[in-house]
Structure 1
Amino acid sequence: MLVSFDQKEYQKLNDKSYQLEKRRLQIELLKLQEDVIKNKRRICIVLEGRDTAGKSSAYKFFTQYLIPKNFKYVNLGIPTKWESSHWFQRWKKVIPKKGEIAFLDRSWYTRALTEPVMGYCSEKQYRDFMNRVIPWEQNLIDDGVEIIKFYFSLSQDQQKRRMKARKHSELKYWKLSPNDERIVTKWDAFTLYKEQMFEKTSPDLSPWIAINANNKMIARLTALRFLLNQTDYEEKKLLKPLTWSKNINNYKVLLEGVEFNNLDYEQYKVLSKYMDDE
């Protein structure tokens, strides 16, 4: 069961309304974290997607006001030879402890996506992973781990724009590795493996939540909104849909640290494709 979650009410947010909604959601997220601490819950939030989809900026957005000692950021990087052949043991070590939220900037699903596309794992390793991953997740859930799997989806044109912006940015050029440039050329292969992943690893117990990430600002709000709607916690406030004026003016975009103010919506739509992660 693949869940596509798209908050259409966010499409015309300007900076002021974005900040108001961001604050509203982050207050609720802090309530959730306090409930996790109090009741010794374990929440594991998976952030997957293509390069430049906004996984890292989503993590920063989620955790901006959380209590630091009760969440952790996980980005394991390149596996060792032992880790590559003991895949689930590698990831079992980063599963959240009681009273903790873990944010995984890429996860065990690297073996369903990047690794087979780039030839970093064998066909046997890939098949073994696909056969074992859902029973493995079921065991985690039975042990009390709450798993939320987000997939940040963006268009090929949008990825090319972001890659180009990184390459020519004096502040973010280091984010673009030779490996990133290689995987961009394998768009179709990545799409094939992504669709296989959705088909075979999205059961009711741990479905994939697809977030439209062509606009990072909207994607962050949408993902957090989904998490709060789907998760129980004490003093939870019903997040009623907000109605934004269709005539909102004064949009703002931050590009390379420079603010462009007083934009109309059409100007904002063009420039926001290149905006900073925040």
Structure 2
Amino acid sequence: MNDEDRKPDMSLERQRRLEEELIDAYDEELEMEVDDRILDGDAAFTDEARSTRRLYFKELFRLQGELVKLQDWIVHTGHRLVVIFEGRDAAGKGGAIKRITQRLNPRVCRVAALPAPNSRERTQWYFQRYVPHLPAGGEMVLFDRSWYNRAGVERVMNFCTDDEYEEFFRSVPEFEKMLVRSGIQIVKYWFSITDDEQEIRFQSRIDDPLKQWKLSPMDLESRRRWEAYTQAKEVMLQRSHIPEAPWWVVHAVDKKRARLNCIHHLLSQVPYHEIEHPAVALPARVHHPDYIRQPVPAEMMVPEVY
């Protein structure tokens, strides 16, 4: 088979991947609905693919049930948990975070996704702006990128000096050890994807108007500087992998496998158990014979278009 013969197959595979990316962007309930239609009626999906996707949802919902138990245990014990998600742009960090938080109480499980530092924050102690987001007792905080920005994007894009970069690596082990000594558990994940996979995901964002907002000039520049990011990642993992807060690498080329593996591993890192709750009984509504419900003015009602 020559190169010309391979081109149509490569084009079909690319189209299939772009369609998968589109489906994957939907929220879980809508994704399930779309998948059901595909699983039941699209002959292009093999029996193996249908079976794999059904297993994904079965395991996802099971693991989300365990996350609810973890949440109850965290509240009951006053445990403090920090989970750091790092990785290249489009590595799937946000998708994993969404599946973790989807069934949880946002007052217990919070996401911290800080923007670029402002002019005042740039003059502060580097870790200072992250400290207010650390968990109190009975809380779990997921950092969608973290203080490791300095080891990644700031290093690659020359947003920090060499001295600031070296000071970060002198400080970050001590900072994390201090947090652990204070009772905060830290779990750090690096989501790893290939060069080809990032290209596909970026192209999907370009082609999908609902996802174009995810692409920033910084994302596009990061694509050009792939090798510089690789080198920065390697240094980061080497210099900040400590026993008190080790790094864990998630193979993330397959998004769905990555989500399941990450959630399964996170659950294994915490010694949680199911907390018994008293049975919930719905109280009877109290009726007052002199109560008269006031009508709502028609102009206040939302039009029933659907």
Alignment of 1:248-263 (within 5 A): none
* Structure 1 counterpart SS, 2:104: coil
Which residue, out of 48, 68, 71, partners 1:30?
68
Which residue, out of 246, 267, 271, partners 1:207?
246
Alignment of 1:1-278 (within 5 A): 14-85=52-123, 86-235=125-274
Cα offsets for 1:4-50 (capped at 9, x unmatched): xxxxxxx9761211111111111111111111111111100100000
**Could you say which residue in structure 2 is the equivalent of 1:274?**
none
* Structure 2 counterpart SS, 1:98: coil
* Structure 2 counterpart SS, 1:68: coil
2:80 counterpart letter in structure 1: R
**Could you say which residue in structure 1 is the equivalent of 2:26?**
none
Tell me how far 1:194 sits from its aligned partner: 0.5
2:150 counterpart letter in structure 1: R
- Separation in 1, partners of 2:61, 2:101: 12
Unmatched runs of 5 consecutive residues or more in structure 1: 1-10, 237-278
Cα offsets for 1:143-179 (capped at 9, x unmatched): 1101000100000110011111101112101111111
- Separation in 2, partners of 1:205, 1:55: 23
- Separation in 1, partners of 2:64, 2:260: 10
Report which of the two structures shows the higher radius of gyration computed on alpha carbons. 2
Matched residue count: 226
**Could you say which residue in structure 2 is the equivalent of 1:251?**
none
* Structure 2 counterpart SS, 1:77: coil
CA contact (8 A) 2:72 2:274 kept: no
- More strand by proportion, 1 or 2? 1
* Structure 2 counterpart SS, 1:135: helix
- More helix by proportion, 1 or 2? 2
1:109 counterpart letter in structure 2: Y
Tell me how far 1:199 sits from its aligned partner: 0.6
- Separation in 1, partners of 2:95, 2:196: 20
Query: How does the TM-score come out when normalised to structure 2?
Result: 0.72
CA contact (8 A) 2:252 2:258 kept: yes
Tell me how far 1:84 sits from its aligned partner: 2.6
- Separation in 1, partners of 2:243, 2:180: 12
- Separation in 1, partners of 2:133, 2:120: 16
2:183 counterpart letter in structure 1: G
* Structure 2 counterpart SS, 1:104: strand
Query: How does the TM-score come out when normalised to structure 1?
Result: 0.79
